[in-house]
């Protein structure tokens, strides 16, 4: 250090180097903290959007279930009406058949 090889070099005090690196690290820390706050804000927005989408999805599911239940009820009622109508059509020929069988032929 004190020989001729280092004559043109300048040396800084350790405290000055420490302060310079400490300031640089403080700037980096503030930048990272700021970015962390931004990311936390974005995360909250995303979570809020997810909750809203899930709520909307649940509402649509309930609407679809109600609509399907209504369609099922109408189709069931129509099926019952058609079955009763068909039973009425098929029972009358059988009734007349039984009436004809019950009447003795002379």
* CA-derived radius of gyration, the chain: 45
CA distance 41 to 45: 6
Q: What is the pTM of this model?
A: 0.55
**6 has pLDDT over 70:** no
54 part of a folded domain: yes
- For residue 103, CA distances in Å to 77, 89, 97, 106 come to 38, 22, 10, 9
3 part of a folded domain: no
**29 has pLDDT over 70:** yes
CA distance 7 to 61: 82
Higher-pLDDT residue of 8, 104: 8
Pair of tokens at residue 30: 């503030």
Residue-wise pLDDT tens digits, 32-72 = 999 999 999 999 999 999 999 999 999 999 999 999 999 99
C-alpha of 28 from chain center: 38
Structural domains in the chain (count): 1
Note down the domain range covering 38: 9-102
């Amino acid at each position: 250090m004190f020989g001729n090889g280092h004559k043109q070099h300048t040396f800084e005090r350790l405290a000055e180097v420490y302060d310079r690196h400490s300031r640089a690290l403080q700037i980096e820390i503030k930048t990272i903290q700021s970015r962390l706050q931004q990311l936390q804000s974005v995360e909250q927005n995303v979570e809020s959007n997810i909750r809203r989408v899930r709520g909307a999805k649940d509402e649509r599911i309930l609407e679809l279930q109600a609509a399907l239940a209504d369609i099922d009820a109408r189709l069931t009622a129509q099926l019952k009406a058609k079955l009763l109508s068909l039973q009425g059509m098929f029972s009358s020929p059988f009734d007349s058949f039984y009436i004809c069988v019950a009447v003795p032929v002379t």
